[in-house]
Amino acid sequence: MKKLDSTALSIPALFLTMLIILSMPRVSLGQSKSDSDTSRKMITAAPTTVRSAYPKAVGYVSFIIPLVSANHDVATWNFNGSTSIGFPVGVNVLYSDRFGFSYEFTPTIKWNGGTSKASNLLFDPGTMFRFDHGFTIITRLAFETSGRYGFTPVFNQVYARTKDVNYFVALSLPARFGNSQLPTLGLNLQIGFTFN
């Protein structure tokens, strides 16, 4: 059996000693162990990434009152013989402080002659253009179960903010076509709140 040389044993021992020294915590003069631990934590915490607040989804609930709907012949006012109120619910997917996309469903209940019924369901998705001070313009498409379709520009303003909800008011101008009826343009008032 061949006898090992002392230099052959000292190279692995030197390598192992260097690994142990490099893995030991460094404490400079005048620095306490707790300061060393804090600085090491700060160094290891630095590479972590901060998660973006976007995209995020917020739900909302509201009610909408159609004020008037008009074609080139006649204007039909709400609360004049019959009354309609819609109950929009939806989800806004916010991609930034300036842009988002909204998915909204609005069932409508109509009262006429002492009876009431669910008269329509509207699906109206749209893009959201968000501005300073809680003002938003939403450009919605519109698809109704009554057979009508069209588009609805919405002008939305947040008027109160809390930790849990933001309260908003909106005016919309629904333009509708189809179903063998004349094109109409309306004016609606919407009030509701979004969940934060």
pLDDT in tens, 97-114: 999 999 999 999 999 988
23 inside domain: no
Q: How far apart are the C-alpha atoms of 144 and 120, rounded to whole Å?
A: 7
**Average pLDDT for the chain:** 85
pLDDT in tens, 36-64: 555 555 555 555 666 779 999 999 999 99
169 inside domain: yes
**Tokens for 194?**
């979004």
Do 192 and 175 touch, CB atoms closer than 8 A? no
52 secondary structure, DSSP code: P
pLDDT in tens, 59-91: 999 999 999 999 988 999 999 889 999 999 999
Angle subtended at Cα 109 by Cα 143 and Cα 82, rounded to the nearest 5 degrees: 110
Q: What is the DSSP pairing of strand 99-112 with strand 82-86?
A: antiparallel
Q: How far apart are the C-alpha atoms of 86 and 178, rounded to whole Å?
A: 20
Which stretch, 25-29, 109-113, 139-143, has highest mean pLDDT? Answer: 139-143
- As a whole number, mean pLDDT of residues 117-142 equals 97
35 inside domain: no
Q: What global pTM score does this model have?
A: 0.72
174 inside domain: yes
6 inside domain: no
- As a whole number, mean pLDDT of residues 124-149 equals 97
Number of domains in the chain: 1
- As a whole number, mean pLDDT of residues 23-43 equals 51
CATH of the domain at 98: 2.40.160.20
Domain ranges, residue 169: 56-195
